[in-house]
């Protein structure tokens, strides 16, 4: 059996967009391991529908939210 997937790609472009933009601006330990410019590139590609980067972006989003708690 398979359930249904969350419409994550669309949520990142709409309801989570402002929050994601704010998370990109924050200093984080993640920048020791990730190239900020590459994450920004993935985000920009996702926003203009050039590439669906929902899984990579979601991983960043969850990790950043966790670290800020």
pLDDT digits (tens, 9 = 90+) for 1-39: 577 788 999 999 999 999 999 999 988 899 999 999 999
pLDDT band per the 50, 70, 90 thresholds, residue 61: very high
**Positions of E strands within 1-69:** none
Residue with tokens 């990109």: 24
> What distances in angstroms separate CA 50 from CA 11, 35, 39, 42, 65, one per listed residue?
16, 20, 15, 10, 26
Q: Which of 1-5, 60-64, 65-69 has the lowest mean pLDDT?
A: 1-5
């Amino acid at each position: 059996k398979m359930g249904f997937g969350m419409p994550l790609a669309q949520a990142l472009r709409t309801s989570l967009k402002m929050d994601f933009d704010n998370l990109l601006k924050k200093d984080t330990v993640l920048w020791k391991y990730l190239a900020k410019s590459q994450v920004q590139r993935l985000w920009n590609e996702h926003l203009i529908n050039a590439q669906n980067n929902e899984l990579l972006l979601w991983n960043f989003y969850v990790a950043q939210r966790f670290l800020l708690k």
